[in-house]
A = this chain, B = another copy of it.
């Protein structure tokens, strides 16, 4: 089993070699490999049986439904064959990232040829029967997906959704100084936004500490039904574009008419040139500060290269018609069957495989040894390389909380103090990613331990604060890049977090989808080892967009995330600094999750001591006895529940009013950190049982729930609970711009006064006796609004509100008399 770590091996990276022209033997080897991979690719798309064509191809040998993609595949196979040769000669650890991941048959074929496939899937053997299984399983019910999926050895990148090949490749290269990542970019993919900006990743890569990405722009000219842009601009423009992106482009062109031998010779030479050039840059003295111009390859080939030139009189190879399954049925007519037969025959499989279906040993020798095979390299099964983070004790970073609300902190700044030490203790496997917002999100103390990695030009120290050639913070104004880099970094066995404005994390909704799907599938693949979780820190959240307003308000990422499989998603809304510390410690220790943490960056009160915070976070939700007024052994009159920092503040302020105005009202105060606790245990692994839930929220009391996001989510999560119909949720209502914090909560009816009104409206025992109090609340809102309009800031009564210490004393007295414990 090769899929083990390989740490003892001496680094062999970045050799230059004597670049002699390809010998005839090696040419035969490379061409044989390519033909074999192409044959196996076509076989996977078309054949059910008769894999070696031992008998004349018959209709029944052909799959009834033809699924998959041929167009990109022969190009991917060609590059794979040539990289094999180069890796063997240079002993260069190399990953292969295929942007056009729909070329799945190609990658599966290569993994089969180099032996990895049979090692991880023991019934797909290196013989005729194994080949039959290989063909049959492809895109077949109960078989394997048609893309380069988690099931494909050697892959960290499905490429179903296009645009992230280079981001993933660079993410993989960070902190892997000996690793070459050959990244094929499809020319369709190259039209996407994320890919178009990801070329600039070279400005964020360190020459010494990081590996090297070799982008290979595969211009096969066509998408599903159109030419591609980059294949249809003048070659001079394309060269300029790549130079503009900071690369040195090398052009390779193969036409349909070109001799394959010539193509092999030319590409081998170009590849050697390029790899030598990389090795030379890598060999510069360590302190050489020049900005390297890394090479890239423009690889122009016919689409569907080696396939039938024409099918039914229409141009196939070299056109968009070769994109998926060029010959859309081989069972309908003898002529079509013959086309397939000739096509398969063109690869001369009898020269490649022996009578048992075993690959010619001469060709097989092209594969690099063991863990150097691109399908077997351990980086592509990152969990194999994953080391636990060394985490400082987060308790040492606690804020002092002598009494609830007695101190103030910016939660994310406190987290930043702890992260600073995380960075110090883990200098080569932990990074922070963010779109120019790490300081804005108040994590800036990390710059005491590290810098932002920046390999573009410098100006003066006056303005270039915390920039350095190497650093643990990665900032580019592209959420796509941050997410893609982090994914690549995690998938290759490292740790990290992505801090982002809450509203704009929607920019990567679809990327999160794909990563969550990848995690879900890998959970079911025994040979895939668990990787570190993808941790989000969403600060600068919906409730505090004073500078920016409505366009920056959207708490819906949470809703988006929980549509993914329950076993891979977690959502936390710590209400203060100590709970944030405890939550993030948990997240950085976890595996195989998408953890969403929403936490404010503005000064706000601390409610829990560190011991209380740990207990609260461990429970995920709980009763804050010090805030409520219930008596032991009796049901409360009302439950005030909160989730999120601003809602918690407003909820407590509402309770403060209620305690003063309605001292007889028995209030239970509940706070939720782990949103998934609300769900039924059958829906989510974190879900409470009904009995546990009912104990906390009651079965029948009114529950006034102040929530950070869209209110419906709380109803969804509590849908199956007894108290469900009594839950009244206040949250974000998508209501326009405001510019003071309290105006914002008022606009969405989440403010303390409205919550008091909700309690009056919903506790049956209160009724119209409290009409005066209710009206006072309406007046308070009006006064608060008028004040902000007159003064441009919140009314002092609100701005300066703090949880009164008198409540603690009164409750402490009660608690003492009932044996409660309020430490």
Does A478 have its Cβ within 8 Å of any Cβ on chain B? yes
Given the known inter-chain contacts A161-B551, A549-B146, please indicate yes or no for A233 contacting B456, CB distance below 8 A. Answer: yes
CA distance A196 to B736 in the complex (A): 30
Asked whether A232 lies within 8 Å of B456 as measured between CB atoms, the reply is yes
Asked whether A139 lies within 8 Å of B739 as measured between CB atoms, the reply is yes
Chain B residues whose C-beta falls within 8 Å of the C-beta of A793 in the assembled complex: 64-65
Does A244 have its Cβ within 8 Å of any Cβ on chain B? yes
Chain B residues whose C-beta falls within 8 Å of the C-beta of A403 in the assembled complex: none
Chain B residues whose C-beta falls within 8 Å of the C-beta of A469 in the assembled complex: none
Chain B residues whose C-beta falls within 8 Å of the C-beta of A565 in the assembled complex: 734
Closest 5 CB pairs of A and B: A241-B244, A160-B551, A193-B193, A196-B197, A240-B244
23 examples of A-B residue contacts, CB within 8 angstroms:
A64-B793, A65-B739, A67-B546, A69-B547, A139-B549, A141-B743, A141-B792, A146-B549, A147-B548, A149-B550, A163-B193, A191-B200, A229-B476, A237-B243, A239-B244, A244-B244, A315-B463, A318-B463, A320-B463, A506-B510, A507-B509, A520-B736, A715-B719
CA distance A742 to B368 in the complex (A): 42
Q: Which of B191, B324, B457, B503 sits near A197, CB closer than 8 Å?
A: B191
Besides A145-B549, A712-B719, 8 more A-B contacts (Cβ < 8 Å) are A141-B789, A160-B551, A225-B439, A232-B459, A315-B463, A324-B547, A563-B712, A563-B734
Given the known inter-chain contacts A463-B315, A716-B716, A734-B565, please indicate yes or no for A192 contacting B192, CB distance below 8 A. Answer: no
Asked whether B193 lies within 8 Å of A192 as measured between CB atoms, the reply is yes
Q: Which of B315, B456, B507, B563 sits near A559, CB closer than 8 Å?
A: B563
Q: Which of B224, B315, B510 sits near A437, CB closer than 8 Å?
A: B224
Interface residues of A in 698-741 (CB under 8 A from B): 710, 712, 715-716, 719, 734, 736-740
Does A656 have its Cβ within 8 Å of any Cβ on chain B? no
Does A29 have its Cβ within 8 Å of any Cβ on chain B? no
Q: Which of B226, B242, B243, B467 sits near A227, CB closer than 8 Å?
A: B467
Q: Which of B193, B314, B464, B740 sits near A195, CB closer than 8 Å?
A: B193
Expressed in whole angstroms, the minimum distance between the Cβ of A523 and any Cβ of chain B is 11
Chain B residues whose C-beta falls within 8 Å of the C-beta of A232 in the assembled complex: 203, 456-459
Q: Which of B477, B479, B520, B560 sits near A228, CB closer than 8 Å?
A: B477
CA distance A477 to B186 in the complex (A): 11
Q: Which of B439, B452, B556, B792 sits near A63, CB closer than 8 Å?
A: B792
Chain B residues whose C-beta falls within 8 Å of the C-beta of A19 in the assembled complex: none
Asked whether B564 lies within 8 Å of A141 as measured between CB atoms, the reply is no
Interface residues of A in 164-192 (CB under 8 A from B): 188-189, 191-192
Asked whether A459 lies within 8 Å of B227 as measured between CB atoms, the reply is yes
How many copies of this chain are found per oligomer? 2
1/0 contact string of A193-236 vs chain B (CB within 8 Å): 11111101001000000000000000000111111110011100
Does A140 have its Cβ within 8 Å of any Cβ on chain B? yes
Does A343 have its Cβ within 8 Å of any Cβ on chain B? no
Interface residues of A in 456-495 (CB under 8 A from B): 456-459, 462-464, 467, 475-481
CA distance A564 to B735 in the complex (A): 10
Asked whether A224 lies within 8 Å of B507 as measured between CB atoms, the reply is no
Does A504 have its Cβ within 8 Å of any Cβ on chain B? yes
Does A59 have its Cβ within 8 Å of any Cβ on chain B? no
Does A440 have its Cβ within 8 Å of any Cβ on chain B? yes
Asked whether A226 lies within 8 Å of B193 as measured between CB atoms, the reply is no
Chain B residues whose C-beta falls within 8 Å of the C-beta of A504 in the assembled complex: 161, 510
CA distance A237 to B456 in the complex (A): 12
> In the complex, which of the residues A188, A226, A237, A524 has the most CB atoms of chain B within 10 Å of its own CB atom?
A226
Expressed in whole angstroms, the minimum distance between the Cβ of A101 and any Cβ of chain B is 8
1/0 contact string of A238-255 vs chain B (CB within 8 Å): 111111111000000000
Chain B residues whose C-beta falls within 8 Å of the C-beta of A458 in the assembled complex: 232
Chain B residues whose C-beta falls within 8 Å of the C-beta of A719 in the assembled complex: 712, 715, 719
Interface residues of A in 484-533 (CB under 8 A from B): 503-504, 506-507, 509-510, 513-514, 517, 520-521, 524
Interface residues of A in 426-463 (CB under 8 A from B): 436-440, 452, 454, 456-459, 462-463
Asked whether A738 lies within 8 Å of B141 as measured between CB atoms, the reply is yes
A164, closest chain B residue (CB)? B193
1/0 contact string of A739-753 vs chain B (CB within 8 Å): 110010000000000
Asked whether A145 lies within 8 Å of B510 as measured between CB atoms, the reply is no
Asked whether A244 lies within 8 Å of B246 as measured between CB atoms, the reply is no
1/0 contact string of A777-808 vs chain B (CB within 8 Å): 00000000100110111000000000000000
Given the known inter-chain contacts A140-B739, A436-B225, A464-B227, please indicate yes or no for A64 contacting B241, CB distance below 8 A. Answer: no
Does A570 have its Cβ within 8 Å of any Cβ on chain B? no
Chain B residues whose C-beta falls within 8 Å of the C-beta of A680 in the assembled complex: none
Expressed in whole angstroms, the minimum distance between the Cβ of A823 and any Cβ of chain B is 38
1/0 contact string of A562-577 vs chain B (CB within 8 Å): 0111000000000000
CA distance A359 to B65 in the complex (A): 74
Expressed in whole angstroms, the minimum distance between the Cβ of A196 and any Cβ of chain B is 4
Chain B residues whose C-beta falls within 8 Å of the C-beta of A203 in the assembled complex: 229, 232-233
Given the known inter-chain contacts A141-B788, A551-B161, A551-B517, please indicate yes or no for A197 contacting B188, CB distance below 8 A. Answer: no
Given the known inter-chain contacts A193-B198, A237-B246, A480-B193, please indicate yes or no for A67 contacting B315, CB distance below 8 A. Answer: no
Asked whether B789 lies within 8 Å of A161 as measured between CB atoms, the reply is no
Asked whether A192 lies within 8 Å of B315 as measured between CB atoms, the reply is no
Chain B residues whose C-beta falls within 8 Å of the C-beta of A438 in the assembled complex: 225
Given the known inter-chain contacts A139-B739, A196-B197, A241-B240, please indicate yes or no for A65 contacting B452, CB distance below 8 A. Answer: no
Does A319 have its Cβ within 8 Å of any Cβ on chain B? yes
Chain B residues whose C-beta falls within 8 Å of the C-beta of A633 in the assembled complex: none
Given the known inter-chain contacts A193-B480, A792-B48, please indicate yes or no for A227 contacting B456, CB distance below 8 A. Answer: yes
CA distance A510 to B437 in the complex (A): 18
Does A102 have its Cβ within 8 Å of any Cβ on chain B? yes
A141, closest chain B residue (CB)? B788
Asked whether A457 lies within 8 Å of B234 as measured between CB atoms, the reply is yes
Does A554 have its Cβ within 8 Å of any Cβ on chain B? yes
Asked whether A224 lies within 8 Å of B315 as measured between CB atoms, the reply is no
Given the known inter-chain contacts A141-B788, A223-B436, A318-B463, please indicate yes or no for A233 contacting B457, CB distance below 8 A. Answer: yes
Does A272 have its Cβ within 8 Å of any Cβ on chain B? no
Expressed in whole angstroms, the minimum distance between the Cβ of A253 and any Cβ of chain B is 14
A556, closest chain B residue (CB)? B563
Q: Which of B197, B314, B462 sits near A315, CB closer than 8 Å?
A: B462
Q: Which of B161, B244, B710, B738 sits near A238, CB closer than 8 Å?
A: B244
Does A674 have its Cβ within 8 Å of any Cβ on chain B? no
Interface residues of A in 309-331 (CB under 8 A from B): 314-315, 318-320, 324
Does A143 have its Cβ within 8 Å of any Cβ on chain B? yes
Interface residues of A in 118-158 (CB under 8 A from B): 139-143, 145-147, 149, 158
A198, closest chain B residue (CB)? B193
Given the known inter-chain contacts A437-B224, A520-B734, please indicate yes or no for A551 contacting B514, CB distance below 8 A. Answer: yes
Q: Which of B237, B314, B457, B740 sits near A141, CB closer than 8 Å?
A: B740
Q: Which of B140, B475, B785, B789 sits near A792, CB closer than 8 Å?
A: B140
CA distance A565 to B553 in the complex (A): 13
Q: Which of B237, B238, B556 sits near A560, CB closer than 8 Å?
A: B556
CA distance A789 to B556 in the complex (A): 40
Does A162 have its Cβ within 8 Å of any Cβ on chain B? yes
CA distance A764 to B795 in the complex (A): 59
Asked whether B551 lies within 8 Å of A226 as measured between CB atoms, the reply is no
Does A616 have its Cβ within 8 Å of any Cβ on chain B? no
